[in-house]
Structure 1
Amino acid sequence: MKMNIIDEFITKLEKNNICMHSFLFMKDGKTVADGYCSPFRKGQLHRMYSVTKSFVSIAIGMLCDEGKLSLDDKVVDFFKAEFELTDVHPYLANTTIRDLLIMATPYSRSTYGPDTKAWLKSYFIGAEPDHPSGTAFSYDSCGSYVLGALVKRVSGKTFVDYMRPLFDKIGISRDVYCLEGPDGELWSGSGLMASTEDLAKFTQFLLNRGLWNDEQLVSKDYIVQATSSQIYNNTSTHDYSWYCGYGYQIWMLKDEAFCLNGMGGQFGIGLPGKGIVFACNADIQGNVCGKDVIFNALWDIADQIADAPVIGTDTRNLAINPPKGSMTCDLQQDISGVAFEMNQNSMGMKWLKITFDGTMGILQYENRTGEKTLSFGLGKYEACLFPELYSGDRLFDDTKKKMYTSINAAAWITSNTLLIRSYIIDDYIGNLTMTFCFKGDEVGVAMSKNAQFFLDDYQGFAGGRKTNP
């Protein structure tokens, strides 16, 4: 029997080890298929990362519709008094709102880093522009951060609050919010928390060119410009499917499609000629082929979705696949509960112990921040709090520290090597792979993390020996 097209889509993702959290297909404004991989569920808020930029872009368009600003306005004019800007570099002084929207700022690198506290101010003071704005594409989340702050300066509201009337009309959740940067501004380049359904509706709104229930909520001209190529953006030596131009904080794809594109696999894709919207949330950080796999799997079935109804797929029991390997090995009983003292290493790990109990395990260790315990399942994911603190909904805010929600699974990938994989599934998304190779009385540890601004002590190598061999 011929495989259902959504089954085909799911199978392609699984074969390529895509950690999909959720997906949703719409045809002509109606949902035709969706799926949520346990522990993710329908309606759950998810970090959208750079999809946030596309929302801010539409807030700018709304302000243009109200006559409160023009895309040709100079950005510094909105912040000159606030930061007492006097001797402004000409490249920065001439930067327009349009330049920020199309990622053509005068900077070739970020003006803030992990240790910068005044993100907004850093854009205007301290950094040195190196080329005229509007002349070259250079992906710059700092500019998006400025755009979000600009919305607040002009409207008197954060971009989320300013867009709330629009959100209500198109059915976006009242729970949507945005994380904050270290200076208290909304993290308008990365911090939006919304559901997959919210992302799909917003993408449909753009596919409708700003029309919803026969009401033009944002001018058609602005939406058309936002979802059309405004600047050449292929700075690589390859013709990737997502380097087909860049609009107003929105990526162009092949076949005149557009993409709201967030780090790690947060995508809202509109295919105008087919009336199709695809939205998904995932964690493909570190998977160099992940984006192409998802895009190609979508394009492989797009024509079929456009031509026929989607039926016959049961998406109720989807789950994130655990690491491949054995749930037990002969070595397991010899090392269970045995402590290993670690040599000096870049991760600051002092000792570790792994204990097994049926289909469960516990990793205990001590690193720079103290003693830790991490629970994991063998051949299945186990939910627990990852034993590191972070700053909650405001970056670098030490007053709101809490632990990350995580899921963790392990498998014996060889007769003497245990792999533990952790996924952080909180308002920060990340993944960590740890391998422990046992060789006589010794252990070799390798850790690799894919996580922005966190898990820095979980990257590197270490060696150790049994404390009581």
Structure 2
Amino acid sequence: MVPLAVLLLLLLLVFVLVPQLHGPEQVSTPTYWPTDGWHNSTPEEHGFDSAKLAEALLTMREQNINIHSLMIIRDGEVLLDAYFYPYDGTTVHDQASVTKSVMTTLIAIADEEGKLQLDQPMVSYFPDRTIRNMDFRKENITVRHLTSMSSGLDCTSERDEETLNEMMTSPDWVQFTLDRQVIWEPGTHFVYCSPGMHLLSPILQNATGMTALEYARPNLLEPLGIRDVIWYTDPQGYNVGSADLYLHPHDMAKIGYLWLNKGQWEGEQIVSPEWVQDSVSVQMVTGGGDDYGYGWWVPKDEPVAYSAIGRGGQRILVVPDWDLIVVTTGGGFEFDEIEPLLIPAIVDLDHELPANPAGMIELEAALDTIAQPPAPLPVAQLPEIASEISGKNFSFDPNPLGVQKMRLEFNGPGEAIVYLLFTEEEQMVSWRIGLDGVYRFSPGDNDLPLGMRGYWADAQTFVMEYDEIANNGHIMLRMRFEADRVVIEGEEAAHELTLMFEGVQENP
């Protein structure tokens, strides 16, 4: 697969950088600001082929790519706004590590206001904490080092961010991270370290007296017209600095548009142009794919584009020379899966294409198709074991999902119900399960939609699909029932996790 940076560079050379063919394209001064909503246009008005976009969307659906939404914005106008069943775009969506790009922005704004200092030692913002493993290197870690993932703290992104998972199981995330040993000289070594990014949130709160969300509303979100926001907190009440911010895709695009316009919005400088430039310039060489700025990923060698990227398919891609923003959300996919499908739709980025009514009809039909549920499948006769386990409780030892008890009920031909009791919960939750290939929806956390469907893979194995539709949590669970026991194996798409645990039937 050709990397995104290479494809963009090749296209940029063809459409933009070859002076004998075209003059360099510059980002124009906006004729309006999308504070209260984006303007729409046709793909052809911006050099895209609507029929090719329709083909790309249908192929994504046919290939079962787990994409939730796709927006393409050029010259400040939306030329594609697509939503894939089961996500319909009416709710906010988990940003995963796109949160890091927002968190570093808040730190920059607070620095410009004089609330904190980027080059101030990290530990100076925690005067009331006793910090282990203190040495001169830890004393030299600055806020700036945290924003560029170069703190030197003992942190690994291997094994699905093992250090992050250790932090999240600790009672105090901030103390866990502050206590880490320093194993590299600060500013010399890049390590993708979500715990280090999380420290930016308590630093901001300790410096301003406001949580990150409280500070973000008047200083970043509300000026851009971003009002519908969820931001989860750690056990001590700090907004998670590395993840768990939820925004609408349209509002994700506003963050990209703010960067495209060098930090300015409606005549107000929200964040300094110097920070915008520095954040998307290489601050740390990663040794891998893209390099890293301050919370943003930057292609190597040629800064054709830059991205805020979150696990599972969350992305804000900005291509300044094309005045282009691409926003995606997903439940576990890679941009490389959709990129080759979109490239053919780019026809001429220097000239408006002729109107294409037939192509627009195809595109509208494709947008409708991808938003619809699949046709219900015939429901096979339930195996004998379904009636044997129906209504019976199974208990579990501690496990990664935190499930203490489970009960399945198979009372109808097309649906089942699962009852689950989670650790530290007092009552079971119940969710309907579609047995015909179509999700049954229930309210999940913060009343965000949750979809469930399942089927019997064989006479003893029930497969249950759990989809946190506005999240990137998508888990397939295979439950094999034998006698009075059940063995559950699971795969989580966005986190690439596998798990296995067993349960026993109560009072068989």
The two structures have a TM-score, normalised by structure 1, of 0.78
- Give the aligned partner of residue 212 of structure 2: 159
- Give 1:371 shift: 6.8
- Give the aligned partner of residue 421 of structure 1: 465
Question: Does the 8 Å CA contact 1:325/1:413 hold for their aligned counterparts?
Answer: no
Question: Does the 8 Å CA contact 1:105/1:134 hold for their aligned counterparts?
Answer: yes
| 2:191 counterpart SS class | coil
- Give the aligned partner of residue 293 of structure 1: 337
* 24-33 vs 7-16, greater mean Cα deviation: 7-16
Question: Does the 8 Å CA contact 1:339/1:351 hold for their aligned counterparts?
Answer: no
* 35-44 vs 218-227, greater mean Cα deviation: 35-44
Match of 2:442 among 384, 395, 403: 384
Residue deviations 1:137-185, cap 9 Å, x none? 1111122111122222333323333333444665332232421111111
Match of 1:98 among 137, 144, 166: 144
- Give 1:337 shift: 2.4
- Give 1:316 shift: 4.0
| 2:262 counterpart SS class | coil
Question: Does the 8 Å CA contact 2:473/2:492 hold for their aligned counterparts?
Answer: yes
Of all paired residues, the percent bearing the same amino acid is: 22
- Give 1:430 shift: 1.4
- Give the aligned partner of residue 318 of structure 2: 270
- Rounded to whole Å, the distance in 2 between the matches of 1:365 and 1:103 is 39
The code of the aligned residue for 2:489 comes to M
**Structure 2 CA distance for partners of 1:446 and 1:304, relative to 1, 3 Å:** farther
**Structure 2 CA distance for partners of 1:363 and 1:214, relative to 1, 3 Å:** closer
**Structure 2 CA distance for partners of 1:446 and 1:320, relative to 1, 3 Å:** farther
| 2:170 counterpart SS class | coil
> 5+ unaligned residues in a row in structure 2: which ranges?
1-48, 156-162, 354-358
| 1:338 counterpart SS class | helix
Match of 2:414 among 322, 342, 359: 359
- Rounded to whole Å, the distance in 2 between the matches of 1:336 and 1:414 is 11
**Structure 2 CA distance for partners of 1:306 and 1:345, relative to 1, 3 Å:** farther
Question: Does the 8 Å CA contact 1:178/1:186 hold for their aligned counterparts?
Answer: yes
| 2:154 counterpart SS class | coil
**Higher relative CO (CA 8 A, sep ≥ 6), structure 1 or 2?**
2
1:318 counterpart = 2:318:
no
**Structure 2 CA distance for partners of 1:78 and 1:282, relative to 1, 3 Å:** same
Report matched runs for 1:73-92 at 5 Å.
Answer: 73-79=120-126, 81-83=127-129, 88-92=134-138
Residue deviations 1:422-449, cap 9 Å, x none? 11236x641221235689x899754314
1:121 counterpart = 2:186:
no
- Give the aligned partner of residue 432 of structure 1: 475
- Rounded to whole Å, the distance in 2 between the matches of 1:211 and 1:67 is 19
**Structure 2 CA distance for partners of 1:449 and 1:18, relative to 1, 3 Å:** same
Structure with greater strand percent:
1
Report the RMSD for the aligned CA atoms in angstroms: 3.9
> 5+ unaligned residues in a row in structure 1: which ranges?
236-242, 387-391, 394-402
1:196 counterpart = 2:240:
no
Structure with greater helix percent:
2
- Give the aligned partner of residue 327 of structure 1: 378
- Give the aligned partner of residue 96 of structure 2: 49
- Give 1:116 shift: 1.4
- Give 1:206 shift: 0.9
The code of the aligned residue for 1:142 comes to P
The code of the aligned residue for 1:120 comes to V
Alignment length (residue pairs): 432
| 2:322 counterpart SS class | coil
- Give the aligned partner of residue 67 of structure 2: 20
- Give 1:22 shift: 2.2
**Structure 2 CA distance for partners of 1:78 and 1:344, relative to 1, 3 Å:** closer
The two structures have a TM-score, normalised by structure 2, of 0.72
- Rounded to whole Å, the distance in 2 between the matches of 1:434 and 1:10 is 28
